[in-house]
Amino acid sequence: MIQLIKGFKDILPEEISLWQEIEAAAREMFENFGYREIRLPIVEKSELFARSIGDTTDIVEKEMYTFDDGRRGLVTLRPEATASVVRSYIQHKMAAEDPIRKFYTIGPMFRRERPQKGRYRQFYQIDAEVFGIASPLIDAQIILMLVSLFERLEVTDVSAHINCLGCPTCRPFFQKALYSLLEAKKDALCENCVRRSEKNPLRTLDCKVPSCREALAEAPSILDFLCSDCKTHFDTVKQLLDKQNIHYQVDRHLVRGLDYYTRTAFEILTTSLGAQNAVAGGGRYDGLVQALGGPSVPAIGFAIGFDRLAEILSQTRTAAAKRPKIYMAPLGETCRTLAFEWACALNLSGVPTEMDFEDRNLKHHMKRADKFHAAHALIFGDNELTQGHAVLRNMETREQKEIPIVNLVTHIINLIR
């Protein structure tokens, strides 16, 4: 038997209604805020991710699905969505017509990390990205939209953590201070962090290794180094969130795992799955469009971990199975043909109807109708046909009603809908 690859998973029909519910809620929320869907390829040139995510990140160094596509060179299964959205924004010269664009995209991402519980090599994200707005108003609005989506899905155990990562003017001062600390604590750091301290010291603050966490507990915060523009920007975001009654915590050591973030960074954390974990994260990335060869356009966005959100929802609700309204219980060959016609007509009219495609007796039909949790069974044999009516049985109350054969589909639609 061929089984799926470790680290991948099937999303089965029993679970899918939660996924659909999340997706529908996200679509509705984003569309109301003026975001439009964009669908992008899952394969891109490897260079796109090396340039946008940064060659020194764990993702690009060892977690990408990259392969040689012959003359087309190295290609990669996307590890995240932002780089592709930016690539598309630049390629279609969207800024020339109107730099302000709001997108969302939902789909699979791929990381070749070691499979572990709750972490998949193909995982799903819900992304939203805004281009062309530098104002802190959009930072506050995007956080409000994200928090509201969780509220609407009744995920209450969430808290928003925010920080400001500075800009190219002020960040170097912070990096210098952090670097001195990393030099001093070198012996306590893990191998990865020693390497990161040279190329990308910020990322050491993200390290989960306990000895690193301890060594860096007293690390300086970027907040102590912000230039006045960054400080004003961050203060405004906080004031706007206060005004909207969005609860948040300032996390002085929050950094994002990716190189291109500037100023506002945020994470939505939850303890719903045990230890506190991020279920969404994002922030501003004002330099990325230009870094990838586009015009200088500010941008901000976030990604929601779809798998994790579905898992959270599955703890509190059971996926609602789709139930047929009518189960056809024909007795005999003539009636079965009729049942087939009526079932097709009812399905097309929006009345979910099931039938057995083999010839069965009444006992079998009733068993199947119960198994499907059908609301009603329509019972008819040759006798009923001669008398001009079929019997509609309410499967819950066992109450029965006669339905005329002539225009039966219309009668049922009027009765059921």
Q: Interface residues with Zn ion (CB under 5 A)?
A: 166-167, 169-170, 190, 193, 207, 209, 212, 227, 230
Handedness of CA 73, 79, 81, 86 (dihedral sign): negative
The CB-of-277 to Zn ion minimum distance in angstroms stands at 19
Closest CB 229 distance from Zn ion, rounded Å: 6
Q: How far is the CB of 290 from Zn ion (least distance, A)?
A: 17
Nearest residue (CB) to Zn ion, 158 versus 212: 212
Nearer residue to Zn ion within complex by CB, 214 or 399: 214
Radius of gyration (C-alpha) of the chain in whole angstroms: 28
Say how many CA atoms lie within 13 Å of 7 toward its Cβ.
11
Pull the structure tokens for residue 341. 């016609």
How many Å apart are CA 159 and CA 267, to the nearest integer? 8
Of 64 and 222, CB closest to Zn ion: 222
Least separation in angstroms between CB 274 and Zn ion: 22
Rounded alpha-carbon distances, angstroms, from residue 318 to 9, 17, 20, 67: 19, 9, 13, 40
The smaller minimum CB distance to Zn ion, of residues 173 and 340, is found at 173
Give residue 384's identity as a one-letter amino acid code: E
Q: How far is the CB of 135 from Zn ion (least distance, A)?
A: 16
* Closest to Zn ion by CB, 169 or 334: 169
* Nearest approach, Cβ of residue 211 and Zn ion (Å): 7
Secondary structure of the chain: what % helix, strand, coil (to 5)? Answer: 45, 20, 35
Instruction: Using the minimum distance from each CB to Zn ion, give the nearer residue, 195 or 360.
Output: 195
Structure tokens at 375: 């609301």
Torsion of CA 226, 227, 232, 238, to 10 degrees: -10
